[in-house]
Each structure stands twice: as structure tokens, then as C-alpha cells.
Structure 1
Amino acid sequence: MANPPKVPIAETNPVPASVQDQIALALLANGGIPRIQAAFRQRLDEAGWSENLRNYVTALFRSGECTTFFEAMEKVKERVGLEGRDGFEGELVVPRSVGEEVAGVVRRELEGICEVGK
């Protein structure tokens, strides 16, 4: 990328779509997106979140409460939304530590392709 985009961290306005597109293309080109996905997946696995999700979905199908992927997805989204309220940390809420660690991975990937302001 000849002229890397500048992305001020403290900016309150959304990043323009053209800059978002440049960033996405650069992350695709340098393999950043798969690295971010792999880091997120690994941290979720380490935290037990992936297993909790798998167990919950398995229980939905075995109980007959859900019979399709779409029904199960709606139940998962509903459960995550309920568990994330009022500070309740349920088994399907992504742990804060995972979010913080992955945010660091994202920042490093962004710093590799653009100028990230303070």
C-alpha cells in the first residue's frame, strides 16, 4: 500500500467507507484477517466459550427445542443478549479478557498496514 491511510484512534466520527475499504483490502492482501480470526478462535477455545456454545446448541437440538440451524442461531443470539445485561456473565458471553486480547491483535494488524493515531 503506497500511502497507508491514517486512522485517528480518538476520532468520534465513523471512519469513511473508502478508508474502511482500503483497510479491509490491505488486511485481506497481507493475511491479517485470517490471523485475527485465528487469534479470536484460539482465545475463545482457551476460555471454554466454544465448548459452552457447542454444548448449548447440542442441548437445543437434543431436547427438540430447535430443529433447524436458524432456530438455534436465534436462541443463541437471544441467550447472549440476555446474559450480557446488567453485568451478568453467562456461559455464552464472550469474556472481557478475550475481547481485550483480540483487540490487541487487531491493533497490531492495523499498525502493520496503516498509521494508527493516538
Structure 2
Amino acid sequence: MANPPKVPIAETNPVPASVQDQITLALLANGGIPRIQAAFRQRLDEAGWSENLRNYVTALFRSGECTTFFEAMEKVKERVGLEGRDGFEGELVVPRSVGEEVAGVVRRELEGICEVGK
């Protein structure tokens, strides 16, 4: 990218859409998005989150509580919302450590395509 966008890390206002578009295009062009997705998937798997989700959804369908994907998604979102309250970390809440690790991956990818301020 000839003139990499500058993105202040402590920006309180949303990054302008034009800058978001530049960043997205650059991440698509250099393979950053698949690397971020792979890192997130790997960390979730290592934390046992993917298996917990799979087991929960399987139980929803086997019990007859859900019969469609959309019903299951609503139940998952509801449960995640309930478990994520007041600092409680249930089996379907993405562990804080996973979020922190993946945030580091995202930052490294961003630093490779734009100037990230402090």
C-alpha cells in the first residue's frame, strides 16, 4: 500500500468508512483476514470453546428444544448473554485469554499494513 492509513489506537470516534475499506482491502490482499480467522479458530479450539458449543447445540437438537439452525442460534446467543453477565465465564463465553491473544494477532496484522498510533 503506497500510503498506509494512519489509525490512532486511542481513537474515540469510529474510524472513517474510507479508512476501514482501505484496511479491509489490504488485509484481504495480504492474507491477513484468513490468518486472523485461523488464529481465532485455533485459540477457541485449544480453550475447548468449539467443543462446548458443538455439545450444547447437539443437545438442543437431540432434545427437540430446537429444530432449525435459527432456533439454535437464538438459544446460543441467549445463553452467551446470560453467561457473560457480571464477569461470569460460562462454557459458551469466549474466554478472556482467547480475546486477548487474538487481539494481539489482529494488532500484528494491522501493523503490517498501516501505521497504528499509540
TM-score range, shorter chain: over 0.9
After the TM superposition, which of the residue ranges 52-61 and 80-89 deviates more from structure 2? 80-89
Shift of 1:87: 1.2
* Cα distance in 2 between the residues matched to 1:69 and 1:89: 24
Instruction: Report SS of the residue matched to 1:86.
Output: helix
Shift of 1:88: 1.0
Deviations 1:86-114 (A, max 9, x none): 11110000000000000000000000000
Alignment match, 1:88: 88
Instruction: Report SS of the residue matched to 2:85.
Output: coil
Shift of 1:71: 0.3
Q: Unpaired runs of 5+ in structure 2?
A: none
Deviations 1:61-91 (A, max 9, x none): 0000000000000000000011000111100
Q: Unpaired runs of 5+ in structure 1?
A: none
Shift of 1:34: 0.1
Identity %: 99
* Cα distance in 2 between the residues matched to 1:68 and 1:8: 43
Shift of 1:36: 0.1
Alignment match, 1:44: 44
* Cα distance in 2 between the residues matched to 1:88 and 1:11: 29
Number of residue equivalences: 118
Deviant stretches of 4+, over 4 Å:
none
* Cα distance in 1 between the residues matched to 2:88 and 2:38: 27
CA-atom RMSD, angstroms? 0.3
Deviations 1:24-67 (A, max 9, x none): 00000000000000000000000000000000000000000000
